[in-house]
């Protein structure tokens, strides 16, 4: 069975960050796939929940890796570090979680 690692980032952008700036950051985030070979897939979206439990988080980013080692290489990769130094100042709140999906037998 294939085992993957999911890297989830929940983001709330600071007030005053424009939609154009957000779209540029999202584009740059997605572009990491072209620079970091360990990235298996990347998806993102905005909150559409009707439960009102998002605590102000508006965007979710999911990066998938084949192994924990690939995830670790991604975190240390200079392209990721550079991108993080651009993204983090634009965020009011951020949560990062890594997990290995468990599927019921």
pLDDT of residue 6: 97
- In contact, 60 and 9? CB cutoff 8 Å: yes
Range with the poorest average pLDDT among 3-12, 47-56, 78-87, 96-105:
96-105
Note the pLDDT tens digit of each residue in 17-75: 999 999 999 999 999 999 999 999 999 999 999 998 999 999 999 999 999 999 999 99
Residue 11 confidence (pLDDT) above 90: yes
94: its two tokens: 């951020």
Q: Name the helix (H) or strand (E) containing 83.
A: helix 78-87
DSSP letters of 7-22?
A: EEEEEEEPTT--HHHH
pLDDT of residue 2: 63
Q: How far apart are CA 85 and CA 78, in angstroms?
A: 11
CATH class as words, domain 5-99: alpha beta
Residue spans of the domains in the chain: they are: 5-99
Classified as helix, coil or strand, 30 is helix
pTM of the model: 0.91
pLDDT of residue 84: 96
Q: What angle do CA 11, 15, 21 make, to 5 degrees?
A: 70
């Amino acid at each position: 069975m294939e085992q993957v690692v999911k890297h989830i980032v929940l983001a709330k952008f600071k007030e005053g960050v424009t939609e154009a700036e957000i779209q540029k950051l999202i584009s740059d985030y997605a572009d990491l796939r072209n620079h970091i070979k360990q990235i298996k897939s990347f998806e993102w979206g905005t909150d559409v929940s009707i439960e009102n439990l998002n605590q102000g988080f508006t965007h979710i980013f999911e990066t998938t890796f084949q192994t924990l080692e690939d995830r670790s290489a991604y975190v240390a990769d200079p392209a990721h570090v550079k991108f993080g130094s651009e993204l983090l100042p634009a965020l009011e709140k951020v949560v990062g979680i890594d997990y290995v999906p468990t599927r019921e037998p």
